[in-house]
Structure 1
Amino acid sequence: MVLGAVTTGTAAEIAWITESMRRVFPREWDDFAAGIPERHRDLPPAAAYARLFVDPDPTVRAEAARSWCTCEDTHVSLLPGWVPNPRYEDPDFRNVFSRLVSHYWSNDCFLADRPLLAHIDRLDGVPATLLHSRYDVSSPLDIAWDLARSWPTSRLVVLDDAGHGGGSFADEFTAEVGEFGAAHARPLPSSRP
Structure 2
Amino acid sequence: MDDLYPPIQVRAEGMLDVGDGHRIYCQEAGNPDGKPVVVLHGGPGSGISPMARRHFDPEAYRIILFDQRGAGRSTPHIGTPDVDLSANTLWHLVADMEKLRERLNLDQWQLFGGSWGATLALAYAETHPSRVSEIILRGVFTVRRGELDWIYNGGAANLFPREWEDFLAPIPEDRRDDPLSAYRELVYHPDRAIRERAAIAWSTWEGAIVCLRPDPAFHNQYASPEFAVTFARLALHYFCHGAWLEEGQLIREAGKLSGIPGVIVQGRYDAVCPPATAYELHRAWPDSKLELVEAAGHAVTDPGMLAALREATDSFRSP
Could you tell me the TM-score, scaled by structure 2's length? 0.52
CA distance in 2, matches of 1:149, 1:65: 36
Question: Are the equivalent residues in 1 in contact too, given 2:295–2:303 (CA < 8 A)?
Answer: yes
Pair 1:112–1:37, CA change in 2 (3 A): farther
Structure 2: runs of 5 or more not aligned: 1-134
Which structure shows the higher helix fraction? 1
Q: How many angstroms does 1:15 deviate by? A: 0.5
CA distance in 2, matches of 1:83, 1:109: 30
CA distance in 1, matches of 2:168, 2:176: 12
CA distance in 2, matches of 1:135, 1:157: 13
CA distance in 2, matches of 1:115, 1:178: 30
Which structure shows the higher strand fraction? 2
User: What whole-Å deviation, never above 9, does each CA across 1:145-173 have from its counterpart, x for those lacking one?
Assistant: 11101100111111122101122323432
Aligned to 2:157: 22
Q: How many angstroms does 1:33 deviate by? A: 1.4
> What is the aligned counterpart of 1:36 among 171, 181, 190?
171
CA distance in 1, matches of 2:144, 2:199: 23
Question: Are the equivalent residues in 1 in contact too, given 2:265–2:309 (CA < 8 A)?
Answer: yes
Pair 1:105–1:131, CA change in 2 (3 A): same
CA distance in 2, matches of 1:154, 1:78: 25
Q: How does 1:148-187 map to 2 (within 5 A)?
A: 148-165=282-299, 166-180=302-316, 182-183=317-318, 185=319
Question: Are the equivalent residues in 2 in contact too, given 1:73–1:84 (CA < 8 A)?
Answer: no
Pair 1:12–1:98, CA change in 2 (3 A): same
Aligned length: 181
CA distance in 2, matches of 1:175, 1:44: 41
Structure 1: runs of 5 or more not aligned: 186-193
- Larger RCO (CA under 8 A, 6+ residues apart): 1
Aligned to 1:70: 204
Aligned to 1:188: none
Aligned letter for 2:141? Answer: T
> What is the aligned counterpart of 1:128 among 249, 262, 282?
262
Q: Tell me how large the CA RMSD over aligned residues is.
A: 2.1
Pair 1:97–1:122, CA change in 2 (3 A): same
Q: How does 1:80-91 map to 2 (within 5 A)?
A: 82-85=215-218, 86-91=220-225
Could you tell me the TM-score, scaled by structure 1's length? 0.83
Pair 1:98–1:178, CA change in 2 (3 A): farther
CA distance in 1, matches of 2:149, 2:247: 17
Q: Matched residue of 1:65: which SS?
A: helix
Aligned letter for 2:314? Answer: G
Aligned to 2:59: none
Q: Matched residue of 1:145: which SS?
A: helix
Aligned to 2:242: 108
Q: How many angstroms does 1:42 deviate by? A: 6.4
Q: How many angstroms does 1:62 deviate by? A: 0.8
Identity in percent: 33
Q: How many angstroms does 1:38 deviate by? A: 5.1
Q: How many angstroms does 1:178 deviate by? A: 3.5
CA distance in 2, matches of 1:77, 1:113: 28
Q: Matched residue of 2:216: which SS?
A: coil
Aligned to 2:8: none
